[in-house]
Amino acid sequence: ATMPPLLSAIATAGRHGVLVKSAVVMERLGAVDRVALDKTGTLTEGTPRVTAVRGEETALALAAAAELPSEHPLARAVVAEARARGLRLPEATDFAAEPGRGVRAVVDGHEVRVHRASGTHGDTAVEVVVDGAPAAVLEFSDRLREAAPGAVAALGRLTGTAPTLLTGDNAGAAARIAAETGIDDVRAGLLPHEKAEAVREWERAGAKVLLVGDGVNDAPALAAAHAGVAMGRAGSDLALETADVVVVHDELGAIPAVVALSRRARRLVV
């Protein structure tokens, strides 16, 4: 048999490193008319580094101990910084993650919380709180993916709508990455359910939303979107499972290509 157009398109997408999970999804991709993207791990490489520790190194060690089980990119950066400084990480128990906010744990008998804070110069920042008292602020920088401006511009042209940045990060860090990417429409400081609510709002108004994300915090929005796309390498297991499409090697440029591919395939389906 000749391969039906949508299946043939899935095979082509696969050769370009895009895993489209079904023919229904391949069909939906071509219908999207609005795009929203997450910041950390999606527009950025998702491998942030600690650029400043404002406070005692002991607070950094406590924060790293509390972040040890977290798969969040900021958590990995905190642990890497503590290790690079040769700090001993104390034993921690009672780990709890608060997606989109931070983590907490009991470390060396202290209640330690690491959670979001507003940065000073457009930086991503977190505050370390020990037994209820602010102990340090950690600042981070993360590189924009080289392909981000081109991919976002192409998605804007294809859909005829300016793409939106949806992020849990602070407004300053969001504005900086948006400016570097060429995005004008930014919503910052969002919790995971607020990202999903933004998507549902557009869908209720008649839009068909393509949502690109990578984190555990993006899973509700990925599920709410007409088409949810996860970054394969940067992506958490939950994001990869929830998404309709996985960009296996994190190539942002493959996303507009697969939307265009879907549109060609749809024209062949009668």
Enumerate binding residues for ligand ADP (CB under 6 A): 38-40, 67, 70, 72, 74-75, 100-103, 114-116, 124, 126, 167-169, 215, 217
Nearer to ligand ADP, 25 or 224 (CB): 224
262 in contact with Mg ion (CB under 5 A): no
Nearer to ligand ADP, 30 or 46 (CB): 46
- Distance of alpha carbon 213 from alpha carbon 40, whole angstroms: 9
- The site map against Mg ion for 25-64 (x = CB under 5 A) is -------------x-xx-----------------------
3-state secondary structure 152-177: HHHHHHHHCCCCEEECCCCHHHHHHH
Q: For residue 146, what is the DSSP state? A: T
- The site map against Mg ion for 197-236 (x = CB under 5 A) is -----------------xx---------------------
Q: For residue 89, what is the DSSP state? A: P
Report the 10 Å Cβ neighbour count for 145.
22
Which position among 33, 38, 94, 108 bears the catalytic label?
38
169 in contact with Mg ion (CB under 5 A): no
Residue 103 binds what, of Mg ion, ligand ADP, none (CB under 5 to 8 Å, by partner type)?
A: ligand ADP
Do 40 and 231 form a contact (C-beta atoms < 8 A)?
Answer: no
Closest-CA residue to 145 (of 48, 260, 219): 48
Whether 38 is catalytic: yes
Q: For residue 136, what is the DSSP state? A: E
Catalytic residue numbers, as ranges: 38
